Structure 1
Amino acid sequence: MARRRRPLPPPLLVWLAVLFSAVAPAVAKTDKSDVAALNVMFNSMNKPSQLSGWKSSGGDPCDDDDEWKGIECSGSSVTEINLSGLELSGSLGYQLSSLKSVTKFDLSNNNLNGDLPYQLPPNVVELNLYGNSLTGGVPYSISQMGDLETLNLGKNHLSGQLTDMFSELPKLSTLDLSFNRFSGSLPKSFQHLKDLKTLNVESNQFSGHIDVLAKLPLEDLNLQNNKFTGWIPSKLKDISNLQIGGNQWSSGSAPPGMEKGSALEGSSGGGGRSGVNGIAIAAVVIAVLVAALILLSVLKRNRSSSSSHYLMDESGHNRSFAPLVDDGRTINMKPLEHSSSISSTTPSAMPIKPISDNEFENKLNYSRRSTDPVNLVAYSSSDLQAATGSFHSSRLLGQGTIGGVYKAKYADGTVLAVKKFDPLSFSGSSDFMDLVNSISKLHHPNISVLVGYCSEPGHYMLVYDYNMNGSLYDFLHLSDDYSKPLTWDTRVRIAVGTACALEYLHDACSPPVIHKNIKASNVLLDADLNPHLTDCGLAYFYEDPSQSLGPGYDPPECTRPSGYVMKSDVYCFGVVMLQLLTGRKPYDSSKPRAEQSLVKFVGPQLHDTNALEALADPGLRGLYPPKALSRFADVLSRCVQSDPELRPSMSEVVQLLLQCVQRTTSNRRLGGHRTVSQRSDDSDW
């Protein structure tokens, strides 16, 4: 006969109920990556007391019992962050790209500072950071936000030129960049903003024409207080709210199809249509005919000499001038030496006034006055000498093949980094200023910011923002046991940021810029451990990369200096990322011979999961997602292929790294019913 089970005594039932109620809340409702991103954001903003419910670690913002100020959720995902006007300070942090479900991100009217981060919520619809003190430029990652409708970055301290990054934003309807320090022309990709209704660029330093706006469906356009020139396109005159004062619009009659800017100056649109001035057009035609006659006369007179492009120097020899080009950028005008065979075939030139090198240099300097770099400080050598302690060895931050970098400290607390060139590196000030001009055009959140220069005879220096955490090389290889190691998330963030900087140089710059000196010591880390690639635009000095890069970095194709190509940058990037993965130096003579070269030793093992676990940097202490480690290694293995043709472009590298992040996040979300131990292998980066 079966024995009946005795019922549990009431006190035991009560005890189990209490135990269950205590354990049940331990299962968090909110997506783990969202919580981690908000934790980082909270810490970066200095843990403000006004953010009730927020925590520096852990928490459950999507749980009804754990309310976080300004956070809205849908299911387990954070969908809105609205923290406008709360007097928040600090920075935005570095993990915002993990907030995949956030569609509204509003931190307007606060006191946030630091660079506008490259990492932002990728699927945001409304991004509002108006009224802060953010610096840097517009991050290129915004170009990938296909759902973006509102972008408001007004009233900050953003600067630089806008790159052509607006082609893939079909839904953008409101764009506010007002009250910043942007310069240069409006990007041509503006013409693809077919839904743009409101554009506000008031109080910047934009210049050039605004023809790119002619066909947009604008209803509200504010161009006030810039440096725009030319005429207002006639198609913009019917905009209901048009503000254009404080620019340098062309006066007189406009070309056909356009209306003169002065007719619209200070108006809000409207106004009657001005008729085309026939007399003015006739005057233009006559002027063109006269100019053509003069040109024909000159060509006829100099037919035998001017076509050869030769000038006679004071000694009677023929000389021609051609630009010395570095990766597509004109660096200096130098005389070309010609062989006797070329000279003998030069047609007899009509007597012309000889032009000496000095006269040519003076003319060249005069023509360059209007192209001096804007928004850069011209430092005196005495000022920089005082700030660096006469370039004392204790201020030396690093020594490269083309000069040293020194720490400059000022009484007001400002700290800068000064790159001091060998005086013989340049033939003159115009040579150096060409270099400054080209570097000043490079603007990206992950590229070191050039803030000034010194151009005096024998004293040529570039002045950059100072990055307080030094170089990635120092952090990986020279840190002591007490230093804070780089976490897995931080390493991947450094990889993505550096990749984005190179993608910008290779794909967004026109012409493309090859770096030629990618190494861990040229990846600098700021206060938040965000990467900043330095030495950009200096490829001219690295004719032989094997001498500047050092052992372990040499791409296989560089058996001679001219063998360095754009895909060689990809290889060197791969070597830097291998250091992030393993914590090893690119070349270490203290290791056994088979392990001295990082690429040769680690490369063949990148697809072996078991080997990877042994190769992972011990500094990680095993705190990384194994699947993420494997995917990261797959990307790096492609970068260090011996054949340049088999390596991906930097644009592909960025996409591969981002896809890895998205894939791990997707896997974790689909695995919502797995146990905690199973989910740990699929956690986010």
Structure 2
Amino acid sequence: MDFPDLQKMFPNFVGIWCLFLGIISFVHSKTDSSDVSALNVMYTSLNSPDKLTNWKSSGGDPCGQDWTGITCSDASVVEIRVSGLGLTGSLGYQLSSLSSVTYFDVSQNNIKGDIPYQLPPNVIHLDLSSNGFTGGIPYSISQMTDVTYLNFAHNQLSGQVTDMFSQLRKLDSLDFSYNMLTGNLPQTFGSLSSLSTLYLENNQFTGPVDVLAKLKLDDLNLANNHFNGWIPTELTKVKKIEVEGNSWSSGPAPPGMTSSDKISSDGPSNGGVGSFSGAVIAVIILGILLGLAIVVALLARKRSSFTSNLLDEHESFGRHKQFNSFKAPGFSNDSHGDMCIDFKDGKSLESSTSIDTGALQSSRPIGLTPAYSSRINSFRNTTLANMNLQRSSSFRATCYGLTDLQAATGSFATGRLLGEGTIGRVYRAKFADGKVLAVKKIDSSFFQGGQAEKFSVMVSNIFKLHHPNIVPLVGYCSEQGHNMLVYEYFRNGSLHEFLHLSDEFSRPLTWNTRVRIALGTARAVEYLHEICSPPLTHKNIKSSNILLDVDLNPRLSECGLVAFYQQAGQNLGAGYNPPECTKPSDHTFKSDVYSFGVVMLELLTGRMPFDSSKPRSEQHLVQWATPQLHNIDALEKMVDPALRGLYPPKSISRFADIVALCVQIELEFRPPMSEVVQSLVRLVQRSSMNKRGDDIGGSRRMDEYDY
């Protein structure tokens, strides 16, 4: 054969050889590429442990190479069983690609961090127990319609369990025990028609358990929580039940309910209280009663001094900075119907002249921060019972006179105007003693028909909000048809002003400070959503409502005013409004999450949520930014030019990942605020924060804060 003929045949030969090699490779590989990629990410996130034999950080063939704990069907991974292997690290971010996995067990390891928001979507058996997971229960569980077994026990999970169970009608066993979960039981627990085993013990759940009444349970453990009320009679039929260690109501139970002691003594034997005989229980009860009688006798002799000491202790609390805002508004009963007496110097009103102790006793407390809530609640519960006799309590409410506020604001002069919104205007008020406060004058149209009581209830509720990232209410005025709220004043203004209205002489916010602002604001919203009782939506989260103190720490304003926004029919401004909110009543917790995500985008890009001066494709910030949040090259071009490149690229990428979750179109896929907080905390912990340059206003570097 001539050489030219070989030259003509060579390209065909090479093509055939390449095709042959491809066929051999295809036949050899038994695993779907998406499963391989997801397991590669999982392996790397678990710190590439030796005990996961044959696993790889890139490529490989899980189904053809006998990867430890992997079971396949055809070319798909269907089971992952890696329990008790001493694994560390986290689970990674690509578990949602494991669409054929039905059995997922990583229990009894030392895996930490948040539970990934996206888990294998078609899982039937999910066991994450006995690890070090933090954060909350991911909402993506709500989409696992075939799941029968969920186990999150023995972790460090916290926050409220949101309503996510309406579609889990095949779920047979659910275990949340030994965590730090809080709040009332979600109402969608009532949809778990197949549930037979429910373990909730050793958490911090509160409220009644009525939602469990219609479930066909065989095994129920509610022990060591903060449940209250009575137990539905239907639960007495549960074969195995534990209820001790809660705050059940005492006395005769109403119809359809039963007391906890009856379940304990008459219920099925389960190795707990119910396994003792009636005689033994009687002896124990008599012993307890005798001991209590002795204690009461001893304490009765010291009751007067005990009460006095408590009052003295609370006086000292009131002088401490953290407790200065723990106040309750007092309202007089003057014939004019005004909510406070006319006093000229803005002095605090003593409870002996204005506190309505009945209102204090009946109102539900809106949660204090955990660090000092138990101490304050202990004081409150002890002393309020004797408030009618002890009228010298240090609870105070600052009630400002109309003439004083007019003088301090120059008769509400335009030059003192700080801002204007749908429900009223905010003015800067400077008093004779040099103190400066902010006065929000609510439009009188909201009080047509003499709804003074509406204002008093609102003031009372706002006074109960206590969080270091929420603007504290320090006083009020209701006089001659004027209703005003008086807040602390923050000289640095709002985040909106820093990002969008700074002049050329202003120094921009560093990346450290932007992350700190996002985290502080997220914590404030988490407090409203998951710690307050009852929980509150904000409905007006935007950069102009995030004020900055002298250290550039965020203070969320406009909290507790949602009723006025509803009455005004107000939707959020352009760019902040979630797609599901066509009217104000549509607003939910997840709508707040969306608006917060927009604020994060402002921090990231330096752009306004809506800017008509931009090209049409860039006017709506969310629509322009969302498709680029996972593109590293595009992301770098999106970052606020004012940062001058002084930021860690990995931190920017992780920040963008959180934004993408918050601004999803489908509200059910947005995470709860507790998960957002944990993600931001993790970002701070993992990132090597840029320390070049100082912030204005004497702000400290991020590494000086305890996250």
- TM-score, reference length from structure 2: 0.48
Point out which structure has higher relative CO (alpha carbons under 8 A, 6+ apart): 2
